[in-house]
A and B are shown apart, each in its own frame.
Chain A
Amino acid sequence: MVDGLYMLENKASLAVIESMKTVRELSWSGVPSYMRPDVWRLLLGYASPNSDRRDGVLTRKRLEYLECVSQYYDIPDAERSDDEINMLRQIAVDCPRTVPDVTFFQQQEVQKSLERILYTWAIRHPASGYVQGINDLVTPFLFVFLSEYLEEDMETWSIVDLSPQKISNIEADCYWCLSKLLECMQDHYTFAQPGIQRLVFKLKELVRRIDEPVSRHMEEQGLEFLQFAFRWFNCLLIREIPFHLVTRLWDTYLAEGDALPDFLVYIFASFLLTWSDKLQKLDFQEMVMFLQHLPTQNWTYQELEMVLSRAYMWHSMFNSSPNHLAS
C-alpha cells in the first residue's frame, strides 16, 4: 500500500532529504509510523527543513508554548473575562467526551493535556475561539507525538509514565501543529463558519458532476449536503472512520499543505460515493441516518486507500478544467 514509504526509508535519514517537495510527494501515500512524528512536524512547517537549525527552533517553540500556558491557562478565574471562563468551561465539558470510544483518551492526565492545548490555542485565536470539533483535531497529534515515547499498543499506554518535561514537549508539538493545520482553514471556525459553508457547496457541485443519478436522488428526497457533510469538514472525517486509520488519512492531508481545503472536497466526494448504489435505494430519513452512522467500523487501509486514490484521480480530471465548479 505504501511503496513511497520504503523509498523514503531507503534514502536514509530525513536530514539528507533536501527537498520538501520530495517529502510531500512521498508522504502523500502514507508515512511509516516510526517516521511520522518527524515527517508531520516537517510537513506542517513547524520543524525546520534545515537539520542544523531544527533542534534549536523546536526548543524555542516548546518554551514559548510553556510561557503561553503559564500566562493564559495557569491563572485564577478572577483574572479571566466572562467569555474566557465560559470558553474554559466548555472545553472542560468536552475533553472527557473526546473520542469516547478510544479508552486511552479517557485518562484524566490526557484530558488535562488536551484542555491546556485547546484553551491556549483558543485564547491565541480569538477570531474563532474554541469550536467543538477542534478537540477531535488534536487527537491524531497527541497519538503521533506520544508514539515517540510509548510502545506499540495504544490501549496499554499510560501517560503518567512520562516525565513532565516529555509531556510538556508533546503538548507543545500538538499545540503548534494544530495551529499550523488550522492556518489554512481560519474561516472554518469563525462566526457562521463561512469556510465550511463554501466547501460544502463545492462538494455538492462536484458530486453533481461526477455522479448525476445520486445527486438527483438526494435532491429529490430533499437531502441537504449540510445535513451530513458539515460534520465531515468540521472534524475532518475523524468521526467517520476508525481511529487507527486516521493517521494514515492525515499523512495525505498534511502532504497537501495549503491546498488541503480544496482537496478535502475531492476526498469527501470520493468517500460519499463509496455508497453511491446504496444511497439511491434510501429515502430521506434512511439517508440522513445512514450518512450520520456510516458502516466504516470494519474498514482497513484498503478501503481508505481506495477513497484517496479515487480522490486523486478526480482531482486530476476536474481540477484542470477552469470552471468546473461554476454552477
Chain B
Amino acid sequence: MDLSTSQPEFDYLFKLLLIGDSGVGKSSLLLSFTSDTFEDLSPTIGVDFKVKLVNLGGKRLKLAIWDTAGQERFRTLTSSYYRGAQGIIMVYDVTRRETFTNLSDVWAKEIDLYSTNQDCIKMLVGNKVDKESERVVTKKEGTEFAREYGCLFLECSAKTRVNVEQCFEELVLKILDTPSLLAEGSTGVKRNIFKQKPPQPDPSASTCC
C-alpha cells in the first residue's frame, strides 16, 4: 500500500482535469474512459476523481483525473484543482451552442487565472456526436477555435465511445513529448500533486462557540 517502499506500478503519474459547462458530459466521458460504460449520471457536485492505468509510448502511466462540477456556484471550489495539472480537457456539447461560446467567455479565462503550469496541454472536446441530427456546432467551428487557442481538438461520443480513448491518448502523448511536464510526472515527485490544498475558510471567522 505504501508507494514509497514498494516497486512503483507506473513510470509516470499525470494529473488531468475536466472542465466545461454543466451537462456537456464530462462525467460521462470520464466514466466511458475508465470503465467502458455509459449510464445516466447525477450532476457532479464539487469534484469527482478517478484513476486509470494505461500503457502509452512504451511507458506505464497512471492518470489521476479530476472531474469538476460545471455550475458557476461551485467555481470557488473547483478553481483550486487547476494547480499542477499537466493536462486540461475542455468539453462542450455539439448540440448546445452556449456550451461552445462559453469556452472563450468562461473556460479559457478560468485556465488563464488558475492554471499554474505554463506548458500545460489543453484539449478541446466536442461531445455527443451520436446526436448528429441535433448538432448545432460544426466540426469546422471546433477546429477553428482550437487553432486560435492553440490546443488539441477531437469530437467524440461518451455514449457510443467513439473517440473517447483518443481524447485521453492524444493529450497524454503530447504531455509525454513535453520535457517539463514529463519531469513533473516522474515517480520521484509523484506524491506532490496531491499535497495541494484547496482554499480553507478562515477558521477564526467561522467557528462556533
Contact = CB atoms under 8 A, between A and B. Distances in A.
A208 interface: no
A288 interface: yes
A289 B76 contact: no
B87 interface: no
A131 B1 CA distance: 38
Nearest 8 interchain pairs by C-beta: A100-B40, A93-B23, A197-B201, A230-B46, A231-B45, A198-B206, A192-B76, A132-B43
**How many of chain B's residues touch chain A, expressed as a range?**
35 or more
29 contacts: A90-B71, A94-B43, A97-B40, A97-B41, A98-B42, A131-B71, A133-B45, A193-B77, A197-B206, A198-B201, A198-B206, A201-B203, A202-B207, A205-B207, A221-B194, A222-B191, A226-B46, A227-B198, A230-B77, A231-B46, A234-B45, A262-B208, A281-B1, A283-B3, A285-B51, A288-B49, A292-B48, A323-B209, A325-B208
Given A90-B22, A132-B69, A325-B209, A283 B2 contact: yes
A192 to B, nearest CB: 4
Given A94-B22, A132-B71, A198-B206, 5 more contacts: A90-B71, A131-B71, A189-B73, A224-B197, A292-B48
A113 B53 CA distance: 43
Contact of B22 (A132, A198, A230): A132
Contacts of A262: 208
A122 to B, nearest CB: 11
A230 B194 contact: no
B201 A194 contact: yes
A104 interface: no
A201 B51 contact: no
A191 B71 CA distance: 12
Interface of A: 89-90, 93-94, 96-100, 129, 131-133, 135-136, 189, 191-194, 197-198, 201-202, 205, 221-222, 224, 226-227, 230-231, 234-235, 239, 262, 281-285, 288-289, 292, 322-327
Interface of B: 1-3, 22-23, 39-43, 45-51, 64, 69, 71, 73-74, 76-77, 98, 191, 194-195, 197-198, 200-201, 203, 206-209
A226 B40 contact: no
B208 A193 contact: no
Contacts of B71: 90, 131-132
A226 B47 CA distance: 9
Given A90-B71, A100-B40, A191-B73, A132 B198 contact: no
